Amino acid sequence: MPTEHRNYCNGEWVASESGETFTVTNPAAETDVVGRLPYSTESDTEWAIDAAADAQEEWANTSGPERGRILRDAGVIAGDRKDELVETLVREEGKTRSEAAGEVQRAIDILFYYAEKARDHGGTSKPASASDRQIQTKKEPLGVAGLITPWNYPIAIPAWKLAPALATGNTVVLKPASQAPISAKKLVECLDDAGLPPGVLNFVTGSGSTIGSTLVSHDAVDAISFTGSSKTGDVVYQEAAEDQKRVQLEMGGKNPTVVMPSADVDDAVDIVGAGAFGVTGQACTAASRAIVHEDVADEFLDGVVEYAESLDIGPGLEDPDMGPHVSESELEVTLDYVDVADDDGATLETGGDALSDGEYDSGHYVEPTVFSDVDTEMRIAQEEVFGPLLSVIEVSDFEEALDVANDTEYGLSASIVSENADEIGAFVDGVESGVVKVNEKTTGLELHVPFGGMKDSSNELYREQGDAGVDFFTTTKTVYSNY
């Protein structure tokens, strides 16, 4: 029998008042039911918000070291359960075992990192204009934070939102994506077992339109942190702005990698291939455009096609090079873009087909896909695909490459492969992107530095991770003391 999971509210695991559930299945084999979760209602969400509001003052008054101890203990528990967490993530999201292990370890590391941040959390002292006065700043929590997380990093993204929120004294209501909510639920279990007080963290599953809308509009919610599509993020921002809630948005990307003649082409192929086809292209930072100088375009194209065709595709538990799409609907979107690119006149160099025979029979598999002869006006050069589809765009010089890189409504991650210091410096200065990589793939982030985008990839007001994560979840009080 599939495991029946429940919501977590006020320190208890509870069913939804609706009595309804939804099913999570393995993307590699639809017959493998991973679990069933509550299809929660507006009332369930309001109950969770009320519990968070009731617990907030006591949690805010809990010492930083004590809050850090709980996060650290949760990290230890997660480490002890790492194998279980990895298998859960693979079965519900489809990542390869190696990719899932890296993500789970990142979540563990985040818990440890913010455990130490909680211990050091405080303000600053500034000199006053008079000798008998002191001025200090004091960081305080915002209150109740609503966290809305996606399916593509189902444990890492909840961790990098939860940990700074809890470390700084906020209480939380977490709503994970319905395609892959069980990894987040198991993260909540680790925090519960670490001794998190009732009401400090609440977990509710179900429809985004019901739970998300309730979180965004509820008077008791002070902050919203959202990761997902730009379309949904715009709605979240507009609704939250009506109540002047603090909002953090991380949304889509159309990430370029520029390849210049000075680059080692073999290295460029590996960098672009890993960025485009890793995690099945299901990353907001995935490389979807290779912008290649004409002098090395043919060599690069031959190499990246060979790279794509060499990838072993299969069930994530077998640890191949690339796993399936998370769902049939996501697979269909990628296949639709293959048709769109063909209709627009791009040249299909390799891939483009679903895999459905033999071991692929009940999974959501697609071949890694490469298109050449891509024009910047084509939809595959402008719209986020969220699958293993790479557009190769040929350019004549660096200035054109930079213009093409910036010729999109998104600005999340960008990279350049070059040995020319002038080009590298001009790219770092000129590219319109929140993350810039030099001779590295567009994917992959350090947990202690800010992360976020420009243009339609973010609202640009607040970054995530590192000190930026602390800043988002806190407000500053300035204290004047005349002694």
Closest CA to 330 of 308, 363, 369: 363
Count of CB atoms situated within 10 Å of the CB of 83: 10
Q: Choosing from 92, 103, 250, 330, which is the catalytic residue?
A: 250
Indicate if 25 and 123 belong to the same structural domain: yes
Contacts of residue 257, defined as CB under 8 A and 6 or more positions apart, other chains included, come to 268, 271, 272, 275, 287, 289, 290, 291, 414, 415, 416, 417, 441, 442
Per-residue confidence (pLDDT) for residue 436, from 0 to 100: 98
Which tokens in the block code for residue 283? Answer: 């990353």
User: Does a structural domain hold residue 444?
Assistant: no
Contacts of residue 302, defined as CB under 8 A and 6 or more positions apart, other chains included, come to none
User: Does a structural domain hold residue 452?
Assistant: no
User: Does a structural domain hold residue 56?
Assistant: yes
Per-residue confidence (pLDDT) for residue 1, from 0 to 100: 61
Indicate if 216 and 194 belong to the same structural domain: yes
Closest CA to 226 of 300, 174, 281: 174
Tell me the CATH number at 367.
Answer: 3.40.309.10
Indicate if 317 and 370 belong to the same structural domain: yes
Distance CA 25, CA 4 (A): 13
Distance, C-alpha 417 to centroid of its chain: 24
Q: What share of the chain is helix, strand, coil (3-state, %, to 5)?
A: 40, 25, 35
Indicate if 284 and 421 belong to the same structural domain: yes
Per-residue confidence (pLDDT) for residue 131, from 0 to 100: 86
Indicate if 32 and 180 belong to the same structural domain: yes
User: Does a structural domain hold residue 443?
Assistant: no
Domain residues for the domain of 340 are: 255-438
Indicate if 200 and 126 belong to the same structural domain: yes
Give the number of C-alpha atoms closer than 13 A to the C-alpha of residue 174, restricted to the C-beta side: 35
Distance CA 257, CA 12 (A): 47
Q: Do 427 and 402 form a contact (C-beta atoms < 8 A)? A: yes
Distance CA 219, CA 243 (A): 8
Domain count across the chain: 2
Q: How many helices and strands in the chain, by DSSP H and E? A: 14, 24
User: Does a structural domain hold residue 449?
Assistant: no
Residue type (1 letter), 78: A
Alpha helices in 345-430, H assignment, sequence order: 398-406, 421-430
What pLDDT digit, counting tens, does each position of 432-475 carry? 999 999 999 999 999 999 999 999 999 888 999 999 999 999 99
Indicate if 38 and 106 belong to the same structural domain: yes
Indicate if 234 and 103 belong to the same structural domain: yes
> What's the whole-model pTM score?
0.96
Per-residue confidence (pLDDT) for residue 40, from 0 to 100: 97
Tell me the CATH number at 227.
Answer: 3.40.605.10
Q: Is 250 one of the annotated active-site residues of the chain?
A: yes
DSSP strand pairing (29-38 vs 21-26): antiparallel
User: Does a structural domain hold residue 447?
Assistant: no
Indicate if 93 and 128 belong to the same structural domain: yes
Please list the ranges in the chain whose pLDDT falls under 70: 1
Indicate if 294 and 434 belong to the same structural domain: yes
Per-residue confidence (pLDDT) for residue 241, from 0 to 100: 87
Which tokens in the block code for residue 93? Answer: 């999201």
Indicate if 259 and 247 belong to the same structural domain: no
Q: Is the dihedral of CA 102, 103, 108, 112 positive or negative?
A: positive
Indicate if 48 and 64 belong to the same structural domain: yes
Give the number of C-alpha atoms closer than 13 A to the C-alpha of residue 304, restricted to the C-beta side: 37
Q: Where are the beta strands (DSSP E) in 186-340?
A: 201-203, 223-227, 246-250, 255-259, 287-293
Closest CA to 411 of 273, 220, 252: 252
User: Does a structural domain hold residue 71?
Assistant: yes
